[in-house]
A = this chain, B = another copy of it.
Amino acid sequence: KHCLQLKMAKNTNIRISLPAVCFVWQIAMIILFGVFIRYDEESDTHWIEHRRKKNISTNLENDFYYRYPSFQDVHVMIFVGFGFLMTFLKRYSFGGVGFNFLIAAFGIQWALLMQGWFHHLDEHDWKIKIGVENLINADFCVASCLIAYGACLGKVSPVQLMVLTLFGVTLFAVEEYIILELLHAKDAGGSMVIHTFGAYYGLTISWVLYRPLLSQSKHLQGSVYHSDVFAMIGTLFLWMYWPSFNSAIADHGDGQHRAVINTYLALASSVLTTFAISSISQNNGKLDMVHIQNATLAGGVAMGTASEFMITPYGSLIVGFCSGIVSTFGYLFLTPFMEKTLKIQDTCGIHNLHAMPGVIGGIVGAITAASASESVYGQEGLINTFDFKDAVANRTVNIQGGYQAAALFVAIAFGLVGGALVGGILKLPIWGDPADVNCFDDDVYWEVPEEDENFLSRHPNMNHATSIPDV
């Protein structure tokens, strides 16, 4: 055990900084919630009066019943999906699932405030009124920070992650406001707003924090057999619930319904192309768990923007087909290239799973929007799907396509610029990040249980070393 501490050049003691950050930020949340956050009319006890006033015939029209099942699915994706996907490293499973838990729990609180100020601030009383849709949006917002965490996995301290999340949520809320409100772009599943932004944010941070000697911890950068199985829990819950992710805040009725079908098909399609490329790339056609764990999800990412559109079922299959191929090729060729040439160390390969499929999703969304027509959507359907009313009542689908493309650039720009700024802050030598030789090692931030020798000697069949004296 002593040998573990030998090469720890850096001070990774976070006994003051982590509790301080947690307490200060949580207390700030309480104060800001006290000032700003209230129940909306559907979660307030005045709902019964609201119902009568608005002539709503049944409690079922409460948005809760439209969106709660999708919310819970998204919630599982955030905490179990992202969390377990990051347990694949042989000795960083605690950090993968544990820090994911910490920053998501903080991020959703800060997101309720930031998104509330930008989107839901009541002009009369300056309060933010929250309901189930806000909870979903907060989960969405924090997803972008968890994507960014994927690039930094194993190389940063939990204090750095809290800073990354604080600024990430802030940037997200501004970027989202520009894309959804100012540009009036559509992005129900967040190909641009969540995935593209989150990935470039994380990659730029990882570039700023480049560690030339990271190979010193190379022995910890792989998986072991059962850590790969744990990661499949994350993969599958992300894969299964992605239709809920892309439909959670879509329009009631056909909007949610169609978003589910499109996402379900795109995901199925990318599984097959991922297996195909993974097999073709290896000796004897052996499959690589890294590809299966990640690239199978590319179809969900790439369907984020167009999920509500009439992209047609076979269109969804094509999107999944291409994004599965692109993503797997990314793991094969781009990740090593980026590490060697661009000096970007991307632990989870978020460039392949989120950045490229996110950009594909943005482009697909722009093209699908630009080619929408009344003959396909119906007159009312076209207006409903793109919300062509009020200020944008006269927008044509071509112009909408242009704004969709502009939104993609906004997302990339926010990721790159925001990542550079936040990366600079995280480079300060005060955050308790690990030395290169201690990266990817839970021992730095966690009390890791010792394997118990007494136990092993009582069960000689479990470790053959102890039975050697008998020979």
Contacts and interface: CB of A to CB of B under 8 A. Distances in A.
A454 B219 contact: yes
A27 B105 CA distance: 42
Interface stretch (A183-191, A282-290, A402-410): A282-290
Interface string A78-118: 01100110010011011001100110011011000000000
A19 B109 contact: no
Interface in A194-215: none
A276 interface: yes
| Number of copies of this chain that the complex holds | 3
Interface residues of A, number: 163
A225 B258 contact: no
B59 A384 contact: no
A2 to B, nearest CB: 10
A445 to B, nearest CB: 6
A341 interface: no
A465 interface: yes
A26 B278 CA distance: 15
A170 interface: no
Interface stretch (A66-74, A363-371, A416-424): A66-74
B66 A69 contact: no
Interface stretch (A129-137, A146-154, A353-361, A390-398): A129-137
12 contacts: A4-B459, A15-B280, A15-B283, A65-B66, A72-B240, A80-B237, A94-B287, A98-B287, A101-B236, A109-B265, A222-B450, A229-B230
A132 B257 contact: yes
Contacts of A60: 58, 60-61, 65-66
Interface in A44-70: 44-49, 51, 57-66, 68-70
A1 B461 contact: yes
B72 A37 contact: no
Contacts of A445: 285-287
Given A19-B285, A25-B272, A79-B239, A464 B461 contact: no
Contact of A279 (B14, B34, B253, B280): B14
Nearest to A218: B454
Interface string A307-343: 0001011100110010000000000000000000000
Nearest to A69: B69
Contacts of A240: 72, 75-76, 79-80
B14 A314 contact: no
Q: Which 7 A-B pairs have the closest CB atoms?
A: A45-B381, A15-B285, A105-B271, A47-B254, A59-B253, A465-B465, A22-B276
A150 to B, nearest CB: 18
A46 B380 CA distance: 8
B381 A268 contact: no
Specify which of A18, A45, A70, A282 lies most central, judged by the most chain B CB atoms within 10 Å of its CB. Answer: A45
A101 to B, nearest CB: 6
B261 A39 contact: yes
Contacts of A58: 60-61
A280 to B, nearest CB: 4
B268 A109 contact: yes
B464 A382 contact: no
A273 interface: yes
A38 interface: yes
Contacts of A94: 228-229, 287, 289
A253 B39 CA distance: 13
Contacts of A464: 453, 456, 463, 465-466
